[in-house]
């Protein structure tokens, strides 16, 4: 019988320069049991595998790659849900594009308003500063980025009511929270505007923490903010999942080595979360994701 999990436990133990007896002391079991784990003749429970993972400084997935079904109750539960904000929870694409067009055409009225909106539509996952830089580059226009950002921020702050959450967002947040899940936001939007949007839509209290990667100085896809959140939360990395809408979001989650789901709300009638609540998450959370 194949025993890749046992071999990986042994390899990781030797790498940490631990004897079977020392590992047994950490796990609260006998030396014989550790030997049986490594030989593959005893099943490893999920709680015990978590202890092994922590003691040997290896993610649970290191041991599960080929042997996932050898773990009793072999599912790794998701208990921490991290969301992007714009175009994931909040329907802001049109408003943000029109705001950028207003700002840029105020600098040069000869620039086509609709062209700016189209350029914005083609760019996903960028910070607001990078959006301006890329659009100006496409237009072959030079302008003071800080001045443009200042104007943009004023317009967005004054019109925050136009940033509406998608259908099903409240339902999914309520559903997850009632299932004792931890909820977070990790976004490239500045925290000041992010909090205004959350407050306007009455969803700020659902989140355990909201993080602006830009304000922290590590814009996505740099994984620093997500990795730091995982460490501070004291929740296993394997229990995290990230929801986003762009390739940048996908790379962000990959860089942090957590599972992720990337989707386009605009290709799904803007009700992805409503569909998830009705068709998928209820069964998953009450079954395979239940802690």
Query: Which uninterrupted H or E stretch holds 82?
Result: strand 80-83
Q: Which of 115, 62, 110 is nearest to 236 (CA)?
A: 62
Query: Which pLDDT value is given to residue 195?
Result: 95
**Predicted TM-score (pTM) of this structure:** 0.67
**pLDDT score for 203:** 96
The span from the CA of 81 to the CA of 230, in Å, is 11
Q: Is the peptide bond before 198 cis (omega within 30 degrees of 0)?
A: no
Are 71 and 46 in contact by the 8 Å Cβ rule? The answer is yes
pLDDT score for 270: 86
pLDDT, residue 75, reads: 55
**pLDDT tens for the chain, residues 1 to 291:** 456 788 999 999 999 999 999 999 999 988 988 998 888 877 777 678 888 988 999 887 788 654 444 444 445 688 999 999 999 999 988 999 999 999 999 999 999 999 999 999 888 878 889 999 999 999 999 999 999 999 999 999 999 999 999 998 998 898 888 778 999 999 999 999 999 999 999 999 999 999 999 999 999 999 999 999 999 999 999 999 999 999 999 999 999 999 999 988 887 788 888 777 666 544 543 444 444
Do 104 and 111 meet the contact criterion of CB atoms below 8 Å apart?
yes
Nearest CA-CA partner of 181 in 206, 212, 203: 206
CATH-assigned architecture of domain 80-90+164-286: 3-Layer(aba) Sandwich (3.40)
Question: ω into residue 152 within 30 of 0, thus cis?
Answer: no
User: DSSP 3-state assignment of 261?
Assistant: strand
Rounded to 10 degrees, the C-alpha dihedral 287/276/83/71 comes to 30
Domain 4-72 part of CATH 1.10.260.40 = yes
Check: CB of residue 215 under 8 Å from CB of residue 191.
yes
Give the whole-angstrom CA distance, residue 145 versus residue 120. Answer: 16
Residue tagged 């950490």 (tokens): 26
Residue 40: per-residue pLDDT: 81
Q: Are 116 and 100 in contact (CB under 8 A)?
A: yes
Domain borders along the chain are: 4-72, 80-90+164-286, 93-162
CA angle 265, 271, 273 (to 5 degrees): 95
């Amino acid at each position: 019988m194949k025993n890749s999990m046992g071999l990986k436990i042994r390899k990781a133990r030797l790498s940490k320069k631990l004897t079977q007896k020392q590992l047994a002391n950490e796990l609260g079991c006998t030396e014989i049991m550790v030997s049986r784990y490594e030989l593959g003749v005893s099943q490893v429970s999920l709680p015990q595998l978590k202890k092994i993972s922590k003691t040997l400084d290896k993610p649970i997935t290191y041991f599960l790659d080929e042997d996932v079904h050898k773990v009793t109750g072999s599912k790794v539960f998701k208990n921490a849900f991290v969301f992007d904000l714009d175009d994931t929870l909040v329907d802001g694409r049109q408003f943000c594009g029109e705001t950028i067009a207003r700002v840029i055409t105020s600098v040069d009225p000869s620039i086509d308003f609709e062209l700016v909106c189209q350029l914005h539509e083609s760019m996903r996952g960028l910070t607001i500063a990078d959006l301006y830089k890329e659009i100006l580059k496409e237009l072959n226009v030079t302008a003071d980025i800080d001045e443009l950002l200042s104007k943009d921020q004023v317009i967005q702050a004054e019109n925050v009511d136009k940033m509406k959450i998608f259908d099903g967002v409240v339902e999914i947040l309520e559903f997850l929270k009632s299932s004792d899940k931890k909820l977070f936001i990790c976004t490239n939007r500045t925290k000041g505007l992010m909090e205004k949007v959350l407050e306007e839509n009455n969803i700020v209290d659902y989140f355990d923490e909201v993080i602006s990667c830009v304000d922290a100085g590590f814009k996505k896809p740099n994984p620093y903010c997500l990795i730091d959140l995982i460490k501070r939360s004291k929740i296993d990395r394997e229990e995290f999942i990230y929801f986003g809408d762009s390739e940048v979001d996908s790379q962000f989650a990959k860089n942090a080595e957590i599972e992720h789901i990337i989707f386009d709300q605009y290709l799904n009638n803007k009700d992805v979360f409503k569909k998830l609540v009705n068709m998928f998450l209820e069964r998953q959370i009450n079954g395979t994701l239940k802690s």
